[in-house]
Amino acid sequence: MNQEFIEALKEIVKEKGIDEDLLFTTIEDALVAAYKKNFLNTIGSSQLVKVTMNRENGDIHVYSQKTVSEDVLDISSEITLAEAKQVNPRYQIGDVVDLEVTPKTFGRVAAQAAKQVVIQRIKEAERSIIYNEFIEKEYDIISGTILRKDKGNVLIDLGRIESVLGPNEQIPNEDYNFNERIKLYIVEVKNTTKGAQIVVSRTHPGLVKRLFELEVPEIYNGTVEIKGISREAGFRTKIAVYSNDENVDPMGACVGPKGVRVQNIVNELKNEKIDIIKWSKLPEEFIANALSPAKTIEVLIDEMSKSARVIVEDNQLSLAIGKEGQNVRLAAKLTGWKIDIKSKSQV
């Protein structure tokens, strides 16, 4: 070891955010193992060994540690009092004596062992830094660049790490083109043995929620609340909003001047339809709103079964149910009520 190596270590400590004491201690532990492997035979492998590394100049010293005993039964771990006093007159029975046993050729072995430790610590530090960076972004939106498609998966470059957008997290019929920038919702950040794993999605309702929070200042500052979202990605989303200020229209705030706010979100979601619903604490009113754009005549609710019977004009029946039942299905998911729709003539 030399001065240049120590300076390089300290630079690594600074750049990678590694704990300096932990790094040096780990290197010393590795040097103990390296010494035992290369310089001790099988019989002496149980010998207590200590290695010290000077933090300033890199000097390394190897010590065999022996306990001062009256009756020496194991010369690899014990030393007589007389021998100990030759080292230092202050030693007493039971003390541990450090006897330097640094091999002349230990430098090359030590350098290799230290290098392996440093490389491992750098990897661990980088993994930790990446994990800590992304764990703060969990349940948030992040932008990524499409790298390639592979067996149904889309590989995304998130900057310091790559992530995989699985088939179930992709919006149906959405094109994912090389080098295209897209917004993704971070569903989960896992800390694995191979480093941070970022689970991303384009279909999660959280993506719509965060897009509205970014696009609508009234939602961001808490004036307007998002009470619920139901989504069938790529086709339609229903979002229930409520205003804490009677002077602020929650639906108008989300739509924005000339519809620009909601249109920006629709564009990001590749023309997915978005129904903005006014939330109400009254189930009848909330259910009626949730079936928008259909108009209802009457909503009859059963609190016990949490089901609702909705009556609409004959010409509103197909609109209320929606294509393949999508409108009523999303309304039921949004409100949490089972909804049965009947036309006026059916009733």
Crossing angle of the two packed helices 3-16 and 20-39, in degrees rounded to 10: 130
Residue 108 lies in a domain: yes
What pLDDT, in 10s, does the model give residues 222-273?
A: 999 999 999 999 999 999 999 999 999 999 999 999 999 999 999 999 999 9
DSSP state of 196: E
Of 127, 149, 172, the residue at which a domain comes to its end is 127
Is the confidence at residue 107, as pLDDT, over 90?
no
What CATH number did the domain enclosing 234 receive?
Answer: 3.30.300.20
Of 201, 229, 250, the residue at which a domain comes to its end is 201
Of 155, 174, 201, the residue at which a domain comes to its end is 201
Residues 10 and 110 in one domain: yes
CA 283 centroid distance within chain? 37
Q: Would you place residue 43 in the very low, low, confident or very high pLDDT band (cuts 50, 70, 90)?
A: very low
Residues 43 and 54 in one domain: yes
What CATH number did the domain enclosing 191 receive?
Answer: 2.40.50.140
**DSSP strand E in 56-180: where?**
60-69, 78-80, 96-100, 141-150, 153-157, 162-165
The verdict on whether omega for the bond into residue 293 sits within 30 degrees of 0, i.e. cis, is yes
DSSP state of 223: S
Residue 43 lies in a domain: yes
Burial class (CB in 10 A: 0-12, 13-18, 19+), 319: middle
Count of domains forming the chain: 4
CB 66 within 8 A of CB 100: no
Residue 132 lies in a domain: no
Is the confidence at residue 187, as pLDDT, over 90?
yes
**Identity of the amino acid at 9:** L
- Name the pTM for this structure: 0.74
Residues 289 and 327 in one domain: yes
Mean pLDDT of 310-329: 96
Range of the domain at 38: 3-127
